[in-house]
C-alpha cells in the first residue's frame, strides 16, 4: 500500500490553524489560503503517482505549507469568510483503488488533453505526470471508500492508496469542505456554496474518515 498522509510538520500547521483565527480564508480552484496578514497557510491540490495495477494512474492529494509572505489575491481568488474563529478541524482521509485497464474512447482522449492544458493554465506550469497521463490511451476506473470499510479490507494492498485529501473545517456550527472529492482535480465549489450543515455530510462519512485534530 502507498500512503500520502500528512507529515508531522503539516499536522502542526493544522493545529496552528485550529488555534489561531485567520484574518481571511480564500478559495481558488487549486488551493485554499488561510490569510494571517504577514504570512499565510496554503492548502494545495497536488497529483502523485498512485499504486495501481495500471500504468500512469494518479492520486490527487492536498499539501499544507506555510508561506512567510503576504498573500495577494488574484482574479480567481474568492473570499470565503473574514475573522471567523475555527471551532474544529478534521483531516479528511480516504482509500483509493482502481479497476483493470480499459482503452479510452476518442472523446475521452480529447478531454484528457484539454484537461491537461487547463491544469497547466490554472497552475501556471506543466506537471510531468499530468503530461504523461494526458497522452495515455486508457485507464482503470477510480474508486474511493472509507479507510475502515469492508471495501477497503477487500482491496489488494499491492494496488491500494491511503491518502489525505484536505480538511473539514467547522466554523459557527457549519462546515467548510476544503478537500478534494472522488480523486478529482481541484477544490470544487457548487453554486458558490462554501458552508454545509451536518446532515449534508452524510454521504461524505461513507467515503471519508474525518480525523479530529486536538
At 34-85, the pLDDT tens digits run 999 999 999 999 999 999 988 888 999 999 999 999 999 999 999 999 999 9
Listed as ranges, residues in the chain with pLDDT below 70 are: 101-140
Q: Which of 83, 65, 74, 64 is nearest to 23 (CA)?
A: 83
163: helix, strand or coil? strand
Q: Among positive and negative, which fits the CA dihedral 15, 21, 22, 26?
A: positive
Phi and psi, residue 7, nearest 5°: -75, 165
Q: Give the residue extent of every domain in the chain.
A: 2-105+140-212
pLDDT at 99: 81
Helix (H) or strand (E) holding 131: helix 128-134
pLDDT at 194: 97
pLDDT at 51: 94
- Measure the CA dihedral 181/182/188/192, to 10°: -70
Indicate the pTM of the whole model: 0.82
The residues, any chain, with a CB within 8 Å of residue 76's CB and separated by 6 or more, are: 28, 29, 122
Q: Using CA atoms, how far apart are residues 203 and 76, in angstroms rounded to an integer?
A: 29
pLDDT at 117: 58
Are the beta carbons of 131 and 51 closer than 8 angstroms?
A: no
Q: Within 13 Å, how many C-alpha atoms sit on residue 197's CB side?
A: 2
Are the beta carbons of 18 and 89 closer than 8 angstroms?
A: yes
pLDDT at 161: 97
Phi and psi, residue 108, nearest 5°: -65, -40
pLDDT tens digits, one per residue of 188-197: 998 889 999 9
All cell numbers assigned to 106: 476518442
All cell numbers assigned to 10: 503539516
All cell numbers assigned to 161: 492508496
pLDDT at 97: 95
pLDDT at 101: 56
The residues, any chain, with a CB within 8 Å of residue 144's CB and separated by 6 or more, are: 94, 95, 96, 182, 183, 207, 208
Are the beta carbons of 44 and 63 closer than 8 angstroms?
A: yes
pLDDT at 103: 57
Are the beta carbons of 160 and 147 closer than 8 angstroms?
A: no
All cell numbers assigned to 73: 489575491
Amino acid at each position: 500500500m502507498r500512503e500520502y498522509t500528512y507529515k508531522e510538520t503539516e499536522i502542526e500547521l493544522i493545529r496552528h490553524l485550529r488555534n489561531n483565527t485567520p484574518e481571511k480564508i480564500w478559495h481558488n480552484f487549486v488551493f485554499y489560503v488561510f490569510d494571517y496578514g504577514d504570512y499565510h497557510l496554503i492548502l494545495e491540490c497536488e497529483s502523485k503517482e498512485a499504486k495501481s495495477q495500471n500504468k500512469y494512474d494518479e492520486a490527487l492529494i492536498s499539501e499544507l505549507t506555510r508561506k512567510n509572505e503576504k498573500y495577494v489575491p488574484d482574479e480567481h481568488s474568492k473570499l470565503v469568510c473574514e475573522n471567523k474563529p475555527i471551532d474544529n478541524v478534521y483531516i479528511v482521509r480516504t482509500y483509493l483503488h482502481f479497476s483493470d485497464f480499459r482503452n479510452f474512447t476518442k472523446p475521452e482522449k480529447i478531454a484528457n488533453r484539454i484537461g491537461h492544458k487547463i491544469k497547466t493554465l490554472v497552475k501556471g506550469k506543466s506537471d510531468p505526470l499530468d503530461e504523461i497521463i494526458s497522452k495515455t490511451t486508457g485507464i482503470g476506473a477510480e474508486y474511493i471508500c472509507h479507510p475502515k470499510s469492508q471495501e477497503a479490507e477487500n482491496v489488494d494492498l499491492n494496488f491500494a492508496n491511503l491518502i489525505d485529501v484536505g480538511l473539514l473545517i467547522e466554523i459557527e456550527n457549519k462546515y467548510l469542505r476544503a478537500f478534494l472529492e472522488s480523486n478529482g482535480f481541484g477544490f470544487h465549489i457548487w453554486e458558490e456554496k462554501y458552508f454545509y450543515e451536518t446532515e449534508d455530510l452524510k454521504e461524505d462519512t461513507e467515503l471519508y474518515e474525518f480525523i479530529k485534530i486536538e
